[in-house]
Structure 1
Amino acid sequence: MYWQNAMAAILETCRVPAPSGAAAELSVPLTFFDIRWLHFLHPIRRLLFYDFPCSKSHFLEAIAPKLKESLSSTLGHYLPVAGDLIFPLNSEKKAEIRYVAGDSAVSLTIAETGSDFDDLIGNHARDADQFYEFVPQIDPVKDESEYQRVPVMALKVTLFPGRGICVGFANLHCLGDASSLVRFIQAWASINKLGGDEEFLTKQGESLPILDRSVIKDPLGIDTIFWKTVKEVPLKSLSFPLPTCRVRATYILRQSDIERLKYLVLAKKPGLIQVSSFVVTVSYVWTCLVKSGEQVDDDVLEYFIFTADIRARIDPPVPANYFGNCLGCGVARIEHKQLVGEQGFVMAVEAIADEIKNRVNKKDEVLKGAENWLSEIKEMTGIRSLGVSGSPKFDLSTADFGWGRARKLEVVSIDGEKHSISLCKSRDSEGDWKLGSLCRGHKWKLSQLSLITG
């Protein structure tokens, strides 16, 4: 069970189905991009906080019913979101996401809280555990006779009477990557704001989700290679360890700061390409985290691991509105003594920039060796690494349910990692990056950092 703040009051729990006109049944096979995440059962958890003064009566009589109605309409276009992950046992069949009308639906919790909205959306240090009051829970894995089943998505909407609303999302990573889930959330918000999906379809018709897995080419049969590995271990529901004993805070990196970092790098490495805002920011954070961390031997390798949307980077390219996972991976490596040295920041930029240039951005390299991804992940267990989640490319804060742009986005998922960064845009000023961190224990040693960029 997840720890829950005692101030939360559950007003309603329900299951929202797709509309009656939707398909009666849908089975979506998993590609190798999806299968690699099957045993990553700590859901991706995101919270959107909105400034929206509202009474409890208005919330229950007008806001909540409209949210349910618009969610149902949205599921008609995004049926996999309402489905279950089906994990076959003792069978050559592969895992899939299955939707069945009358049985499949999304769990939606409606709640009310007495928590301090302004404290939660602030940039100052706050107890990380208090955010779990707003995180929806995905039902545990169910064991059937021939397979295991678990929902892929859960939602929670919490009212701060007279102050605001929090919309919480939890999804299994095998459902889709940030590109896919942000599109779903923005579609729900748009349909809710417009009061139906007719105008939404007029505006978004050409970018409705593509569910056809044939757009992912797999001539090497990597999905079969991955399935042979993952099917040996049944699914297991994982409870999140609470209390986390961490503190969440936000820092702002201005556009001028980012430009100064770029200038510093290019002054020393004038021929270096791919010196982007992403590269200099994560390099700066990586260097700071390692320098502020525990002491290790000089020759120990430090790793920076990141994923990238490669829909446009593979051959043939995958449509931008493909719903599922389509992520490549980059890994930069530097010896500890180099990263903590005087030129550590510049060396970090060079290592990450070279990985992007030579692997992630090259169509003939981005999937090279993909059949070994699972074994490589196992080999990297226990290494000293910093990971990154999310991207400023996908601006979730723009999801407008009719209450304006979100005041704050919190990516709670990074609590489960030893060192991780989440990255998203800022609403404060165009070009600025917000740096939100999680610190462990009383020494306030930096252990997580979420980066919010403009």
Structure 2
Amino acid sequence: MADTLKVIEQCEVSPPPGSVPSTSIPLTFFDLPWLCCPPLKRIFFYNFPYSTQHFFQTLLPTLKNSLSLTLQHFFPFSSNLVFPPKPNPPHIVYTQPHSVSFTVAQSSADFITLVSDSPKDVTALHPFVPVLPPPQTLEDGTFFIPIMAIQVTVMPHSGFTICITFRHAAADGRAFHHFMKFWASVCKSNGDLGLASIALPLHNRDIIQDPKGLKHIFLQKLLNFLPENVESKGEIRDVPSDMVRHTFVFSHEHVEKLKRWVSIKCKSHGLELPHITTFVVTSALIWFCKVKSEEIKSATVLANNDESYILAFMADCRNRPEFSIPVEYFGNCLVCGNAEVKRSKLVGENGILEAAIAIGSEVRHLQHGTFEGAETLMSNFTEFATLGKHMTIIAGSPNLEVYETDFGWGKPKKSDVVHVDNSGTISLSDCRDKEGRIEVGLALQKIQMKKFSTILEEHLTEIRVLD
């Protein structure tokens, strides 16, 4: 029998009355390129072996109250993206009683299956994903687009999910997970902000320096990017019927042996030792396996081995000494790195090594080049949107500590980036049991996923026997 989902309540949650004045927040050059990005979707699964009625009586009121108290400090999430008539720039506006759409539902889906790492149909998570409210247009053409929606779904006697859809132009992953941990901390302390242990966010956009005038350049490029284009990127797209998502877990031993393997290979080939980190070697292995697994899709893939393949990833500029941007800064603060390798090299005998060198070099470049990755943000996102190139995008980071989001009933049983439904995206995160383990999530068509898994296991076996 097919899983069923029943919406039990649809409401709005806003900051406490009078707690937030009407506020307008400008978008910085870090924020503007993300207007071209579809909304992000992150889901958290929690154990709850009780009835729906028990959930409604005990947890739901605390969840709503703590969310309201949290939105007092993270009010941009209950705001709107505003596109005034040209040439006025888009910005974020909060006015009372702006709120976040909050949906409560009940599902007959099997909780144990959903939290397993085994392959599952990508559509399995779609019923849990909240839809952003529709935009509004004023008579003068001003366009208002809601920024966040939340859905809580109960699976009786097993668990429940919290799933959030939000627009990247308002906040990056660091800011979003700051919000989630703050909400969790307030909930765990039963609404006592004095006991909540998470720092307050910093909303001052003046600390973002723009010596290269990138905001003006990006605004000019966005002039023909209509607000309707932003809204059209809001919903879950159709995906192939045989698409599956899979979570792969790398142990600390896997990662350390992979680092050593890359180091030995570099020396044996007389190559410069790249920036060898957990991120570099894990991304290199996954990228290699993904591209290698494409060989079975179509013979046309093999037609031009000189085409460039790109791995795009983000680097956080917070807490870097040259910028003086604190880790609590709320907004976007990312630059983009592009590791580029010719296909013939990437799928060759030394493909993992070639990938590691390219990624490591780009990581090192971003660490030493002030805002250099920022200059290409807009053009990168244009390419991401069209996917005209052979591009893979890394979403998330183990450093965000997703599994530390404890609302008072323990760590998440699982957390997924729902938007890896786009097979051009791979997610990285920490693991529930820590111990240096890394979770990698991706979605591919079934036959390619099987090939990917085989290639990955072959290389992990080779690396595992390294003394």
User: TM-score, structure 2 length as denominator?
Assistant: 0.89
| Letter in structure 1 aligned against 2:444 | C
Instruction: Report the Cα distance in structure 2 between the residues aligned to 1:99 and 1:310, rounded to whole angstroms.
Output: 26
Give the direction of change, closer, same or farther, for the CA distance of 1:20–1:379 in structure 2 (3 Å limit): closer
- Between 1:236-245 and 1:117-126, the stretch displaced more is 236-245
Partner of 2:425: 420
Choose which of 371, 377, 385 in structure 2 pairs with 1:373. Answer: 377
Which residue of structure 2 aligns with residue 283 of structure 1? Answer: 284
Q: How does 1:34-433 map to 2 (within 5 A)?
A: 34-40=31-37, 42-89=38-85, 91-102=86-97, 104-145=98-139, 146-200=141-195, 203-204=197-198, 207-236=199-228, 237-238=231-232, 239-245=235-241, 246-270=243-267, 272-294=273-295, 295-296=301-302, 297-313=304-320, 315-357=322-364, 359-362=365-368, 365-368=369-372, 370-378=374-382, 381=386, 382-415=388-421, 417-433=422-438
Deviations 1:372-398 (A, max 9, x none): 532354467411111100010001221
Compute the displacement of 1:225 (Å): 1.6
73-82 vs 286-295, which deviates more?
286-295
In structure 2, distance between residues paired with 1:447 and 1:420? 15
Unaligned stretches of 5+ residues in structure 1: none
Contact kept, 8 Å, 2:336 with 2:374, in 1: the verdict is no
Distance 1:262 1:371, change over 3 A: closer
CA–CA distance in 1 between the matches of 2:383 and 2:291? 21
Q: Is the partner of 2:398 in helix, strand or coil?
A: coil
**How many pairs are equivalent?**
435
Cα distance 1:392–1:95, how it changes in 2: closer, same or farther (>3 A)? same
Instruction: Label 1:65 to 1:169 Cα distance change in 2 as closer, same or farther (>3 A).
Output: same
Letter in 1 for 2:281: V
Kept after mapping to 1: 8 A contact 2:11/2:101: yes
Query: Considering only aligned residues, what root-mean-square deviation do their CA atoms show, in Å?
Result: 2.1
Q: Secondary structure at the match of 2:273?
A: coil
**Partner SS for 1:32:** coil
1:234 shift after superposition: 1.4
Question: Percent identity, aligned pairs only?
Answer: 34
Q: Are 2:427 and 2:442, in contact at CA under 8 Å, matched by a contact in 1?
A: no
Deviations 1:292-350 (A, max 9, x none): 11433121111111111111336332111000000011111111111111111111111
Q: 1:141: Cα distance to partner?
A: 2.6
> What per-residue deviation string (whole Å, max 9, x for no partner) do you get for residues 150-179 of structure 1?
111110111111111100011000011110
| Change over 3 Å in CA distance of 1:379–1:52 after alignment to 2 | closer
Tell me, in whole angstroms, the C-alpha distance in 2 between the residues paired with 1:348 and 1:136.
37
Residues 1:87 and 1:408: Cα distance change in structure 2 (over 3 Å): same
Query: Structure 1 residues 223-232 or 373-382, which shifts more?
Result: 373-382
Conserved 8 A contact 1:387-1:421: yes
Hey, what's the Cα distance between the residues in 2 that align with 1:127 and 1:53? 25
3-state SS, counterpart of residue 282 of structure 1: helix
For the residues of structure 2 that align with 1:242 and 1:304, how far apart are their CA atoms? 24
Deviates more, 1:321-330 or 1:433-442: 433-442
State the AA in 2 paired with 1:208.
L
Deviation at 1:434, TM superposition (A): 2.7
Matched residue type, 1:291: K
Report the Cα distance in structure 2 between the residues aligned to 1:156 and 1:222, rounded to whole angstroms.
36
Is the contact made by 2:429 and 2:440 (CA closer than 8 Å) also made in structure 1? no
Q: Tell me if the contact between 1:440 and 1:447 (Cα under 8 Å) persists in the aligned partners.
A: no
Q: Is the 8 A contact 2:319 2:327 kept in 1?
A: yes
Q: Which deviations, in whole Å up to 9, do the C-alpha atoms of 1:166-209 show, x marking residues without a partner? A: 000110000111100000011111101101143345x33xx310
Q: Which amino acid aligns with 1:74?
A: T
Opposite residue 250 of structure 2, the aligned amino acid is: L
User: What does 1:12-51 align with in structure 2 at a 5 Å threshold?
Assistant: 12-40=9-37, 42-51=38-47
2:437 is the alignment partner of 1:437:
no
**Structure 1 position 371, deviation (Å):** 4.1
1: distance between equivalents of 2:255 and 2:427? 17
**In structure 2, what residue type is equivalent to 1:228?**
Q
Deviations 1:42-68 (A, max 9, x none): 210010000121211121222111111
> Which residue does the alignment assign to 2:298?
none
On the 8 A contact 1:176/1:324 being kept in 2, the answer is yes
Q: Which has the higher helix share?
A: 2
Q: CA 1:165 to 1:369, structure 2 compared with 1: closer, same or farther past 3 Å?
A: closer
C-alpha distance 369-410 of structure 1, shift in aligned 2 (>3 A):
closer
Query: Counterpart amino acid of 1:100?
Result: T
Distance in 2 (CA, whole Å) between partners of 1:61 and 1:144 is: 40
2:202 counterpart SS class: coil
Q: Note if contact 2:423-2:444 (Cα within 8 Å) is conserved in structure 1.
A: no
SS at match of 2:399: coil
Query: What are the superposed Cα offsets for residues 112-169 of structure 1, whole Å, 9 maximum, x if unpaired?
Result: 1111000100111111101011111111232223311111111011111111110001
TM-fit CA distance, 1:221: 2.5
1:23 CA displacement: 2.1
For the structure 1 residues 375 and 198, does the alpha-carbon distance in structure 2 shift closer, same or farther, using more than 3 Å as the test?
Answer: closer
Report the alpha carbon displacement of residue 243 of structure 1 after superposing the two structures with TM.
Answer: 4.5
How far apart are the structure 2 equivalents of 1:441 and 1:427? 26
